[in-house]
Structure 1
Amino acid sequence: MEKFTVTPRFCETDALGHINNTSYFIYLEDARIKFFQSLGYSMNLSDWKFILASTKCDFINQGHFNQKLTVSTYIKKISNKSFHLEHEICCEETNQMIATGNAIIVFFNFQEQRSEELPDHLREELERHLVVK
């Protein structure tokens, strides 16, 4: 499981005083990027291999400005051309679940504009992050 910490900025909150729902999708995107980097993939856009097919976020408890949040990412499912990422966002201090999210990522050839089978080396890396719950 890959983890990183985010500290919500004041501009990421709304008039109700909690983190705005759109901000969570930014945290999930950061988690995906960090996850791809942990797999050894370059952030060079001329050689980008992934496309986001679907994403979702469920808001469990309120998060607030300057609260330290831990974003954990793991693999839930691996298919022939795609994989499912799961995310958990927890308060670092209390371990209270703040939000959960998921994303379906497709291995994609941008030159040919089509999905491709996951290469063996990627599948092996993904299997190391597979968590069955």
Structure 2
Amino acid sequence: MSEDNRKLLLETRIPVRWGDMDAYGHVNNTIYFRYFEQARVEWLESQGSRVSPEEPVGPVIINASCTFYAPVNYPATVIVKMYGGEPGRTSVMTWYELFVEGEDRLYADGAAKTVWMDTRTGKSSPLPDTIRLIFD
């Protein structure tokens, strides 16, 4: 799917915490994945999907990536834009852009493939209709 076919699903603001910093004085690279995760969970919950081990079917990440363009420093608020597309039988692709509030510069971007899984069997499960309809 080309970038032109991606659909903006969510934009969220997340305050950078002092504890997000590493020894170099900028946000640790692992935290960017947490920011993307927060956006994904907010979006999933807005679509009626509970992210809980008690649910019989739930979304899991099978692949995630991030490209870092510039360091984020405390204090700041990051803006994460989440895009989606390419729904398959059991999965959907998501992409992320990370900005710092008040700036136009792209600080990082990334992607994640989310698969719906039957939590009892560990096997993939069909994508929920509520999610699939977003991309039709």
Shared fold by TM > 0.5?
A: yes
Deviation of the 1:124 alpha carbon: 0.2
Deviation of the 1:104 alpha carbon: 0.5
2:132 maps to: 123
C-alpha distance in 2 between matches for 1:15 and 1:111: 41
Contact 2:50 2:58 in 1 (8 A): no
Q: How does 1:19-30 map to 2 (within 5 A)?
A: 19-30=27-38
What percentage of aligned pairs have identical amino acids? Answer: 25
Unpaired segments of 5 or more residues in structure 2? 1-7
2:93 maps to: 84
TM-score for both structures, normalised by structure 1 = 0.87
- Residue 8 of structure 1 pairs with residue 8 of structure 2: no
**Following TM superposition, where does structure 1 have runs of at least 4 consecutive aligned residues deviating by more than 4 angstroms?**
none
Unpaired segments of 5 or more residues in structure 1? 129-133
How many pairs does the alignment contain?
A: 127
Q: How does 1:1-133 map to 2 (within 5 A)?
A: 1=8, 2-47=10-55, 48-125=57-134, 127=135
Deviation of the 1:44 alpha carbon: 3.8
TM-score for both structures, normalised by structure 2 = 0.85
Deviation of the 1:94 alpha carbon: 1.0
Deviation of the 1:74 alpha carbon: 1.3
Aligned-residue RMSD, C-alpha: 1.5
